[in-house]
Amino acid sequence: MSDKGLILTNHHCGYGAIQQHSTTEHDYLADGFWAMQMQDEIPTPGLTATFLVRVEDVTSKLLAVVNDQMDEKARLEAMDAEGDKLAKAASNGTHYRASVRSFFGGNQYLMMVYEVFTDVRMVGAPPSSIGKFGADTDNWMWPRHTGDFSVFRVYAGKDNKPADYATDNVPYKPRHFLPVSTAGFKNGDFTMIMGYPGTTTRYMTSSEVEQTMNIGNADRILIRGVRQELLLEDMLADQSIKIKYSSKYASSSNYWKNSIGMNQALKRLKVVERKRENEAKFTNWVNANADRRAKYGQALPTIEHVVRNRAELQHALSFYNEALLRGTELIGFAVRFEALEKALADDSKAKEMAKQLKNNARAFYKDYSMPTDQKVAKAMYRLFSENVDKKFQPEGFVSNTEIANHIDKIYSNSMFADSTKLMAFLSKPNADALKADPGFKEAKMVMSKYRELRTAMEPMAYELMRGTRLFIAGTLEMNQGKHMYPDANFTMRLTYGEVKDYYPKDAVHYDYITYLDGVMEKEDPDNWEFVVPAKLKQLYQTKDFGPYALNGKMPVAFTSTNDITGGNSGSPIMNAHGELIGLAFDGNWEAMSGDIVFEPNLQRCINVDIRYVLFIIDKYAGCKRLVDEMKLVGEHPATTPATTNSKKKRK
C-alpha cells in the first residue's frame, strides 16, 4: 500500500487485534481507532506479516524416498522427514522460514520460503458499525454494504529485516507496493486476486460430500447455534462481555452460517449427483485398461469404505471438538495443563512451563466471563449427552439429569474458574493440587476418551489418504492435457476473473456494485447490526464524498468472478494494470458449495471498493495522512478488453 510498510486487510481479519486493544474506556470495536501520527500506531503482539520469497518444486526429491511397497503411514513419514530436511537446508544461515507443502493429494510437493515480520502495528480501523455493518444477517450475502477494512503497518529493523518489537524499529520498505486506482471499473473489466486461500476440497467424492453435509456441517450448525445464542444474550446485556466475546462470537458465527449456506447450496445445485456422474466416468475410464485397473481400481472403493466405517467416530469427534473442547472454555483451557502435570517431576522444566502458562492465562482471562462460560457449559454438556452414543462418551461422564449440579460444582471449586486462584497456583505449582482440581480432572477425563477415539480413527485416515492420492492421480491422468489446479492449502494463489453481475434465480438480477445509498436504506437504529454512525449520515446527506464518488454516488462494494475461499479475506483485488481496486472479503450465499465445486455462473467474490476505503479514511476519520502516503492513480489512456471466460479461475 505504500513504501512505508502500510498494509490493508479486512476489518474482520483485524478484528482480533482491534478487540485485543479495546477496553470499556477505549472501545475501538465500537468507536474505531485512527493513529493520527505514526507514533500513535499500536504494537500488536502475536500479529505477523508473511511474505513469500520463492517457490521450488521438490516433488522428485520427495518421491525418491518412497516406494509402492510402503504403507501410507510409512510413506508420509519418509516424505515428511525429507521435506523437513530440505526446508532446514533452505533456511539455515538465513532469517527465512521454509516449509514443504503437499499438492494434488500428495502427488506434487512444493517448497515455500517465507520472510516473517513480527512487529506489526495497528494503524486504523473504522467502527464496527461500518467495518461490520450488517453483521450476521448480511454475512455471506449480496447486496453488501460493509466497509470491511482495517489498516496496519509492518515495522522492521534498521536493516529492513524482520525484528521483534523495539521502539527504534522503522517502517518496512517493500520491494514493490500496489498503486491505488481511483478510476473505478465497469462490468466485465478484468480482475485478479493474489492471496492465501485456506482449503478447498474440489476432488471430494460424493460419499464424502454427503458425510460433510450430514455430520460435519449438521453438527456444527446445531452446536454453534446453541452456543452463539447464549453468548449473544450476555453480550447484549453487558458491554464488558461484548468486548470480551466479540471476536470469539464472530469467529464462531462465520462458519456456522457458512455451513448452513453450504448445505443448502449442495442440495440445490445437486452436487452429490454431479459427483456421482464424474465418479462413474472415472470408473469407466479405469476399467477400460488393465494397467489402470491395477493402479487406480481400488481408489474409489477405498474412499467409500473409509467414509462408511468412520461415520460414527466422525460424529462423536465432532461433538468432542465443538461442544466440549471449544464450546466449554474452562475444559479447553485446563487441557493445556496436562503438560505441566508431566513437567512437575522436573522442577526446572516446571518453572519454565508455569511461566509460559501464566502468559497464556493472562490472555485467556482477559477475554473470559466465568458466568457466561458456566451457562454455556451446561448447554454443551446436554447436547453432548443427547447426541453422542454412550460407547463414545468419556468413562464416568455425567448423566443428563445431573449436568447442572455437576457443572456448578466444577465452576465453584476449580481454580480454572478464578484467575486469582490460578495465578497463585502457578506461582507455586504442585502436582497434588493440580490432580485434585475438579476442572483439571474433568479435562483429563474428556481428553482420555477423545484420544482413544482419535487413535481408532488414525488407520482410517491413512487409508483415506491413500485412496484420495490415487483418485486424484487417476483424475489428473484421465484429464491429461487439460488445465487442472490443486486444492487450496494456505499457500499463495492467483485467481483471475472479471467484475460481474449475476442472476441468482429466475427473474432476479443482482447488479455488480452497491452504494452508500444502500447503507441508509438498511439503517435500523434499534438493531445493532444496522446502526449507522451520525457522521456517516451527515457526509451522505451533504454529499461530501471528496474525490471518491462515482457520478455523485459513493461506491461501497462490488462483485467479481474470482475464485476465493476462507483465508483470502483481505486479499487485494487488482485491475489489469496491477492497481488496487478493492479488498476481497466474502463469498455469496447462492454458491456456498464453492469450496467443493466451483460454480462459474453463480459464484461471486464480494469486495469492498477501494474508493469507499479512501473515503472513510479521509472524510470520515480525518486521517488523510494515510491517503497521502499511498500512490493514487487515475484513468489509463486505453481501456482493457473484458474477459469472457469465467472458468478455471485459480492457478
- CA 398 to chain centroid, in Å, comes to 34
Annotated catalytic residue 569: yes
- Quick one: which of 24, 70, 19 has its CA closest to 46? 19
The secondary structure element, H or E, covering residue 241 is helix 239-268
How many of the other CB atoms lie within 10 Å of CB of 625? 14
Q: For 636, which DSSP code?
A: -
144 phi and psi, to 5 degrees? Answer: -125, 145
Distances (CA, A) of 131 to 287, 515, 616: 55, 15, 10
Q: Are 606 and 557 a contacting pair, CB within 8 Å?
A: yes
Q: Which residues pair with 113 in a beta bridge?
A: 54, 98
Q: Which of 148, 189, 487, 563 is catalytic?
A: 148
Specify the amino acid at residue 348.
S
HSE-up of residue 233 (Cα within 13 Å, Cβ side) = 11
Selected catalytic residue, list 22, 569, 571, 593? 569
- Residue for cell digits 466405517? 309
Under a CB-based contact definition with an 8 Å cutoff, are residues 183 and 634 in contact? yes
- Could you tell me the three cell numbers for 269? 445445485
Question: Does the annotation mark 148 as catalytic?
Answer: yes
C-alpha angle with apex 415: 251 to 380, nearest 5 degrees? Answer: 40
In the residue annotation, 57 being an active-site residue is answered as: no
Half-sphere exposure of 338 (CA within 13 A, CB side): 13
Of 12, 145, 315, 406, the active-site residue reads: 12
- Residue 121, φ and ψ in degrees, nearest 5: -120, 145
Note whether 437 and 311 are within 8 A (CB). no
Catalytic amino acids?
12, 148, 569
